[in-house]
Amino acid sequence: MPITREQSSIRRSLTYAALLLLAFGCARRQEHAQPEPASPPTKITGNSALASASENPGLLAEVAERALPAVVSVASTRAAKVESPELPLDNPFLRRFFGPSGPLPFPMPHGQAPDEHGLGSGVIVGKDLILTNAHVVEGAKELEVTQGDRRTLQAKLIGADAKSDLAVLRITSDTQGLTPLEFADSSRARLGQLVLAVGNPFGIGQTVTMGIISAKGRADLGIEAYEDFIQTDAAINPGNSGGALVDLEGKLIGIPTAILSRSGGYMGVGFAIPSNMAKPIMTSLVEHGRVMRGYLGVAIQNVDAELAKALSLPSAEGVLISDVSPRSPAEKAGIQRGDVIVSIDGQRVQTTGQLRNMVAAAGVNATVKVEALRSGKAHTFNVKLGSMPDEAAAPASSTPGASSRLGVGVAPLDAATREQAKLPADVRGVLVTSVEPGSPAATAGIRPGDVIEQVDKQPVTSPEQLSEKWGKSSGSTAFLVWRDGHTFFAAVKHP
């Protein structure tokens, strides 16, 4: 029931009286108290941090003060995405040709849209490195990095990985006085463990919120292609993306990346990329300009009780192989449709998300030990992993994150790919599987589903050829592209 002003006034009076009595009692006890010897300061490490947080309220302030200088604001400027306008309902001539609804199949003339501005966070994790989310810097023409003390840092993008939503920036200005955060071992994170989220929500400035780790290993949420999230109830809001989730030792345990919300704001369920996943991805981006994930070449699905019963499996554990790609690493090793993978390199596998992450993290050309069940019997396969088909076209460069990046994922036109994409037998080239927004390919109008047949009038039959020919070209390069039964030339400009 609502509280009136009169009731509120009475309550305040009673509260003041109670505080006076409490203060008087404390003073009387102090007169008779014996002074206690001062205890030496203790270093808070490991599991003792949780108990010490309640015994030492200043601990949280110390952790926050340690983390704040390493968390920065990342502002981006990008070209606005302009959609083709809807067909006018009162134009029967256009409707006759293009149908009763839907966008035009070509852009209508329009004025230049103003640039869009985004704001997120980042974490200094090395002498001159900043780790953030890929969606914070996606399509950015300009980046501005600012510390909490309003010091501006010059930085450039080294590389971004949309599949994990991670990106790395390199600081190109003076790095003197910067204090990077140390990575924690996220595998040791415990449910109920206190954590702090540090970032720049809503662009209001650096903010610290506190919560607990409420779940681990969250996957199959459909947020990213590769998921192994730490879930926390520490307040995470728009602008916190790319910031820091730190433990009570002041170490980076995760990168906040998403929230589960019906309103767009904090509802107590936030997700962070664990440090043990972020660190190797960051290293790969720095060393290669892209993430080199392992590739097994199988279609997979989870095993539930009904499926286990139908397949006469001993239990609903492991991951079922529903298909094997021709000439893939899995096929070469002898893995077959219907096999159930139960472990990789001795680590138990229970979900498709776990299997996908394990294979990807193992890396290209790594040999992994795969244990599987076939007709109830255990089998072991030594599989030499390959490279993800849609990542094979990312150009290698002597300079990580070089501006020559084309911005497409492609796959070779083998029999399986051709059948899946329903391509005619006479079409030759590489299939475009993904296009990065704002990339040279996207600007030239190349779309997923297109087939790149030629680069500078030279045939392209593999992702490696595409990467090589694009890397050798400069200025505007002519691409011959097949789409929906006809070909056209696209002028792709090097940035």
**Residue 186 is a catalytic residue:** no
Q: Structure tokens of 473?
A: 């070209």
> Token pair for residue 66?
């340690």
* In contact, 382 and 367? CB cutoff 8 Å: yes
Q: Please, which residues have CB within 8 angstroms of residue 453's CB and are 6 or more apart in sequence?
A: 427, 428, 429, 459, 460, 480, 481, 482, 487
Q: CA-CA distance, 267 to 231, in Å (whole number)?
A: 12
Q: Which of 73, 76, 165, 214 is catalytic?
A: 165
Distances (CA, A) of 192 to 109, 216, 232: 56, 11, 9
Identify the helix (H) or strand (E) that includes residue 421. Answer: helix 415-421
User: Which of the residues 214, 241, 328, 387 is marked catalytic?
Assistant: 241
Look-up: residue for tokens 């059948």?
Answer: 419
Q: Are 354 and 378 in contact (CB under 8 A)?
A: no
First and final C-alpha spacing in the chain? 64
| Cβ neighbours of residue 145 closer than 8 Å, sequence gap 6 or more | 72, 73, 74, 75, 122, 130, 152, 153, 154, 155, 169, 171
Asked if 263 is an active-site residue, the reply is no
φ, ψ for residue 286 (rounded to 5)?
-70, -40
Compute the half-sphere exposure of residue 115: CA atoms within 13 Å on the CB side of its CA: 11
73, 135, 164, 467: which one is catalytic?
A: 135
Give the residue among 184, 188, 189, 201 at the shortest CA–CA distance from 232: 189
Question: From CA 345, how far away is CA 355, in angstroms rounded?
Answer: 11
Q: State yes or no: is 165 an active-site residue.
A: yes
Q: Measured over all CA atoms, what is the biggest interatomic distance in the chain, rounded to whole angstroms? A: 98
Q: Catalogue the active-site residues.
A: 135, 165, 241
